[in-house]
């Protein structure tokens, strides 16, 4: 009895009594009169009914639009632009072209052909016609292409460089070579750009050679100057040592 008076027991008893009372009210008919609200047009007006009507086509017959082609809107004179007939290359025209490149990679096999009178190169795949001609590429090898046309078959060899291309650009001016410092005889210092010199005595301005020295000649001239400087310093060192020896002998 004492346990029932504890707060937890009192709460459990209240919930049980509430459930029992709710069950009794349900059995007595609680909520039995609840039903949908009767329809009231003023509260919810009915949705409008959409009706679809089939219409006839608005476009007329194609003959009614002939003026569109005869008087185009995007031309100033409202006249159709003249269209040049596509040149079929002549059924008997020979194939005058040069095979410049061949591309064979997997399923891709195409040749690049250039006409001597046309600066634009044309690409053609195996089985296709060369643009502007009636010649069809039937076979392609790494260094040749076989075309078939009205006059038979024509084989083009891959063009190779024969040394008669564009002229070579002028040679650039030789770079100025920095004079290397002699680590054994000179103290380290900043590198000074030196103009290459030769063993030839300077000539007057009007007699100076117009041909510039090649990089190899510049390097050779610098090497000679370094060797001459080393020999001069070696001779100076020998003279200094000889003077010291003579001074010791005098003492």
Q: Return the percentage of the chain with pLDDT > 70, whole number.
A: 73
Task: State pLDDT tens for residues 45-82.
Answer: 778 888 888 888 778 788 888 887 788 777 777 877 66
Tens of each residue's pLDDT in the chain, 251 residues: 555 557 777 888 889 999 998 888 888 877 777 777 777 777 777 788 888 888 887 787 888 888 877 887 777 778 776 644 444 444 567 888 889 889 898 888 989 988 877 777 888 999 999 888 888 999 999 899 999 988 888 899 998 766 555 555 566 666 665 555 444 444 444 444 444 444 444 444 444 444 677 777 887 888 888 889 888 988 998 888 888 888 888 86
- For the chain, give every domain's residue range: 98-157, 177-251
User: HEC string of the chain?
Assistant: CCHHHCHHHHHHHHHHHHHHHHHHHHHCCCCCCCCCCCCCCCCCCCCCCCCCCCCCCCCCCHHHHHHHHHCCCCCCCCCCCCCCCCCCCCCCCCCCCEEEEEEEECCEEEEEEECCCCCCEEEEECCCECCCCCCEEEEEECCEEEEEECCEEEEEEECCCCCCCCCCCCCCCCCCCECCCCCCCCCCCCCCECCCCCCCCCCCCCCCCCCCCCHHHHHHHHHHHHHHHHHHHHHHHHHHHHHHHHHHHHC
């Amino acid at each position: 009895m004492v346990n029932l008076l504890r707060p937890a027991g009192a709460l459990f008893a209240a919930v049980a009594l509430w459930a029992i009372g709710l069950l009794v009210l349900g059995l007595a008919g609680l909520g039995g009169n609840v039903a949908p609200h009767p329809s009231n047009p003023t509260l919810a007006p009915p949705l409008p009914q959409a009706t679809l009507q089939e219409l006839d086509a608005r476009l007329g017959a194609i003959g009614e639009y002939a003026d569109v082609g005869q008087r185009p809107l995007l031309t100033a004179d409202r006249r159709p632009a003249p269209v040049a007939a596509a040149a079929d290359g002549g059924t008997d025209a020979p194939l005058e072209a040069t095979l410049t490149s061949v591309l064979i990679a997997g399923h891709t096999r195409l040749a690049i052909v250039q006409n001597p009178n046309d600066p634009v190169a044309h690409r053609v795949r195996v089985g296709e016609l060369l643009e502007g001609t009636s010649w069809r590429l039937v076979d392609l090898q790494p260094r040749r292409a076989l075309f078939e046309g009205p006059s038979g078959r024509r084989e083009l060899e891959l063009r190779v460089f024969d040394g008669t291309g564009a002229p070579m650009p002028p040679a650039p001016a030789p770079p100025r070579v920095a004079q290397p410092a002699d680590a054994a005889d000179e103290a380290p210092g900043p590198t000074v750009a030196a103009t290459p010199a030769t063993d030839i005595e300077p000539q007057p301005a009007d007699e100076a050679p117009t041909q510039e020295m090649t990089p190899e000649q510049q390097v050779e001239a610098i090497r000679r100057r370094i060797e001459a400087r080393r020999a001069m310093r070696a001779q100076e060192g020998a003279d200094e040592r000889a003077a010291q020896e003579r001074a010791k002998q005098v003492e």
